[in-house]
Amino acid sequence: PSINNHEAKKRLGHVTVVVVGGTGDLARKYLWQGFFQLYADQVGKGHTFSFYGGGLSPTEKGTPLLFGILKELACPPELSAERCTLVKDQFLHLSKYHQLKTTEDYEKLSQQIKQQLGQEGMVEAGRLFYLSVPAFTYADIAEKINNTCRPPSDAWLRVVLEKPFGHDLYSAQALDKKLSDQLKEKEMYRIDHYLGKFLCFRKKSLTKSAKEHHVLEIEIFCRIQFYDQYGVIRDVLQNHLTEVMTLMLMNLPANLSNSMEILQNKLNFLASLQHVDNSNAVVGQYQAYNGEVQEELNKTKDYFSLTPTFAGVVIHVDNVQYEGIPIFMTSGKALDERVSYARVLFKNDVFCIQDPNNVQCKSKQIIFSLGHGNLQYPAILISKNLFKPELVSSGDWKEVTEYKDVNVLGLPLSDYYIQSPVTPREAYCELISHVFFGRKDSFISAEGLLASWAFWTPLLEGLSRVFPRVYPGGEANGNLLNFQLQGHQVAFSHEAVVNVINPGAKDNFQVMQGKYRSSEMVSAWAQELVERLASDLLLAAEEAIREEGQFHLALSGGSSPVALLRALALNLYTFPWRNTHIWQVDERCVPHTETGSNFRSIHDLLLQHIRIPYFNIHPMPVHLTQRLCVEEDGGPALYEKEINKHVNGSSFHYILLGVGQDGHTASLFQDTKLENDEERLAILTESPIKPHQRMSLTFTAINRARRVGVLIMGKSKHELVSQLSRIKGESSKYPITKVQPKTGTLIWYIDYDALLG
């Protein structure tokens, strides 16, 4: 039988496909196979086609390269050998190489397309450009397409863009601006081949299982072969795994073919993600990577790359459905198995006494296997002790009943209900088909791209100064990359034995003790300093509770205690919170629910993560009778009365202070008048910066404390630390110098950035 597109049942018009970078590696491995599959699917159904492989090489060099690729294309499994030979011959006949280097080259291509349409009397349906080229060329090529290769207004234009789409929020915004100057958003298809792997899975909703069972955690894992200089977070987590997460956890629209609603639901989910920073991530670098980079970039042996090749990140969501459920996103190179999956792990409320191997005693989980690993094919696996899924009625899926003798994430295959696509399609084949049909839900919108970068960029900026943990690769990694959840944060479970990256001498300091302004001083790099301060607080708490049964801790506001509060939140079980009272050193005169409130900061960073009796929390009363810090309302007197009631001798066990760059501490400033308030424990004060009104403990209250810690961190405080070291005794210019506990102990906690500059 012959194939004659002119005798197709419907005349749907002619489609021109142009693969820019058509002889490159991606085109050779995946793209031409995808377009061959598209042609095989559509031949005889009403469209006619022509295919161009574009490249920088002249025609005489590029043509044999292109046809060398096309002749190696595999037959789609649904075609017989005879039919495939016919379809493939026709596909090669419709394909041509075209040099695409200059604007004139693109003009010639456009003229050739018009000439072919005119000669054969065809109506143009549209033009599909696939840019399989480096991202830095996108803007230039988009301009050439816009100026020379646009089809008539009644035909469509679709331009496919491969990642990366920028390397942070700012570069992504700049690229988006350049592209949107040339192309409409509806014309751009930002591709992520992992979407193709995951699209079919999400049609099977998690809503039923999430409502009927308690979700314990969600894992998204990808182990792939290599990363470029972008590193694992930019190369995999920000795009592939973020897209898997949004497709997996967004609200499903009633109509799965509604592209706009799907894109909006993805945006809504991204907007619900909580902020992530260094405390939510661990990073590593496999041992041979640095040598590879030195060789590739022609660097000397003293060059060290901080590019991570492994990352584990915990993400939390601010919505009712997933509140409190950690999402673990992990990817790495040189792990012991190449596997990609997304898993929902459920709580198992069955307690087994004698038969732990009974299926009801095992993990309850849903696994979306994206291929590779023990299973080798894409599938959905549902634990038999969870529920039996219905088979999708479309005929695209089948139930797997023959089990290989392998385990998948802790369970043998026989413990799962397994469903798999009847005919698994390569991801690029799926996505190319969706471009052809204009299915935008399968691609990344500009809003979604920028929302993803807005989420990841703060973490990337924070990790840019972090040395990744070095690991050997493969089975030799042992437990080196295992990490654990601590509150809302993550940390490696085991100490690293070896660190191949040797920082400078300054970086080899651990914790040092000395004297500063005639008092004790502890110095270290920021993380070690905060850990030491948290440890000292724990010792002080245990001592106070042994002697008096309770521990009274007063915390200052501002930026200084933020890292400490996060560290304390990790001590959910070791710190004696039940016997601890939390007080405020100072407060801004704003409602406690507002983000500028010091109490709100203490709540968000610490209180909401720990189990502490409600009556042990003592916020400063700045909001009385629907007014803020009005003298007649007597807020300071009320707080003083509460201190006298609960704190023995009005002497806090521990007061933690910070220091502003102007030398103020608590909310006690250079101009604060204290002459008439010498015996008062709390007063209203005025700050030189907004919000001006404050409430603060007085120096009388501070200097009665058993222990006072002053935490100073950051290079911006170096000059202040130097100035204070030269001042003997008190100085009215620097209120911090008035902190002189009468019978207690003063300890300065100063990080190396503040101490050494």
User: Which regions of the chain carry the CATH code 3.40.50.1360?
Assistant: 522-727+747-756
Label residue 509 by pLDDT band (50, 70, 90): very low
Label residue 505 by pLDDT band (50, 70, 90): very low
Cα of 52 vs its chain's centroid, Å: 38
Task: Quote the CA–CA distance of 58 and 63 in Å, as a whole number.
Answer: 8
User: Which regions of the chain carry the CATH code 3.30.360.10?
Assistant: 196-425+440-492
pLDDT for 574:
76
Q: What is the mean pLDDT of residues 85-112?
A: 95
CA dihedral 167, 169, 170, 175 (to 10 degrees): 70
Given strand 397-400, what is the order of strands in its sheet? 397-400, 416-421, 379-383, 364-372, 339-346, 215-222, 327-332, 310-315, 281-286, 469-471
* 50, β-bridge pairs: 16
According to CATH, the topology of domain 196-425+440-492 is: Dihydrodipicolinate Reductase; domain 2 (3.30.360)
Task: Quote the CA–CA distance of 708 and 748 in Å, as a whole number.
Answer: 9
Average pLDDT taken over every residue of the chain: 86
* pLDDT over 90 (residue 193): no
pLDDT for 691:
80
The pLDDT > 90 percentage for the chain reads 51
Where is pLDDT greater, at 278 or 707?
707
Closest by CA position to 332, among listed 306, 308, 307, 309: 309
Element housing 188 (H / E): strand 188-191
b/e sequence 387-413, b meaning 16+ C-beta within 10 Å: eebeeeeeeebeebeeeeeeebbebeb
Q: What is the mean pLDDT of residues 169-180?
A: 94
* pLDDT over 50 (residue 10): no
Q: What is the mean pLDDT of residues 131-136?
A: 92
Q: What is the mean pLDDT of residues 509-513?
A: 66
Closest by CA position to 459, among listed 712, 233, 704: 233
pLDDT for 313:
96
Is it true that the peptide bond before 164 is cis, omega within 30 degrees of 0?
yes
Upper half-sphere CA count for residue 125 (Cβ side, 13 Å):
17
Lookup: tokens for 625: 């009778």
pLDDT for 198:
58
Task: Quote the CA–CA distance of 137 and 223 in Å, as a whole number.
Answer: 29
* pLDDT over 80 (residue 207): no
Q: What is the mean pLDDT of residues 456-478?
A: 86
* pLDDT over 50 (residue 123): yes
Q: Say which range, 39-53, 63-77, 97-111, 347-361, has the weakest mean pLDDT.
A: 347-361
* pLDDT over 90 (residue 99): yes
Give how far Cα 203 sits from Cα of 257, 265, 393, Å: 11, 15, 12
Please enumerate in sequence order all residues whose Cβ is within 8 A of that of 32, keeping only pairs 6 or more positions apart, or say none: 19, 22, 53, 69, 70, 73
Q: What is the mean pLDDT of residues 63-72?
A: 95
pTM to 2 decimal places:
0.67
pLDDT for 411:
83
Lookup: tokens for 510: 């651990």
* pLDDT over 50 (residue 308): yes
pLDDT for 375:
77
* pLDDT over 60 (residue 126): yes
Please enumerate in sequence order all residues whose Cβ is within 8 A of that of 121, keeping only pairs 6 or more positions apart, or say none: none
- What sign for the dihedral angle of Cα 607, 610, 614, 615? negative
What values do phi and psi take at 638, rounded to 5? -65, -40
Using alpha carbons only, give the angle 606, 608, 611 rounded to the nearest 5 degrees.
90
Rounded to a whole number, what is the largest CA-CA distance in the chain?
105
Element housing 567 (H / E): helix 562-570
Q: What is the mean pLDDT of residues 158-172?
A: 91
b/e sequence 502-514, b meaning 16+ C-beta within 10 Å: eeeeeeeeeeeee
Strands (E), 13-171: 13-20, 47-55, 95-99, 124-131, 156-162
Gyration radius of the chain over CA positions: 32
Lookup: tokens for 29: 């491995």
Is it true that the peptide bond before 691 is cis, omega within 30 degrees of 0?
yes
Q: At what angle do helices 169-180 and 138-148 cross, to 10 degrees?
A: 10
* pLDDT over 70 (residue 3): no
Q: What is the mean pLDDT of residues 630-642?
A: 94
Task: Quote the CA–CA distance of 516 and 525 in Å, as a whole number.
Answer: 17
Kindly report the three-state secondary structure assignment for every residue of 602-637.
HHHHCHHHCCCCHHHEECCCCEECCEECCHHHCHHH
| Tens-place pLDDT, residues 668-683 | 998 887 766 678 999 9
| Tens-place pLDDT, residues 673-732 | 776 667 899 999 998 888 889 999 999 999 999 999 999 999 999 999 999 999 888 998
The pLDDT > 70 percentage for the chain reads 90
* pLDDT over 90 (residue 617): yes
Ranked by mean pLDDT, which of 375-379, 562-566, 613-617 comes out on top? 613-617
Active site residue 240: yes
Q: What is the mean pLDDT of residues 510-533?
A: 86
pLDDT for 355:
76
Q: What does the DSSP 8-state code read for residue 468?
A: P
Catalytic residue among 14, 98, 240, 609: 240
According to CATH, the topology of domain 522-727+747-756 is: Rossmann fold (3.40.50)
Task: Quote the CA–CA distance of 206 and 327 in Å, as a whole number.
Answer: 15
What values do phi and psi take at 488, rounded to 5? -100, 10
Q: Does domain 14-162 have CATH number 3.40.640.10?
A: no
Label residue 502 by pLDDT band (50, 70, 90): very low
Q: How far apart are the first and last CA of the chain?
A: 81
User: Which regions of the chain carry the CATH code 3.40.50.720?
Assistant: 14-162
* pLDDT over 90 (residue 201): no
pLDDT for 466:
80
| Tens-place pLDDT, residues 412-438 | 888 888 888 877 778 888 899 999 999
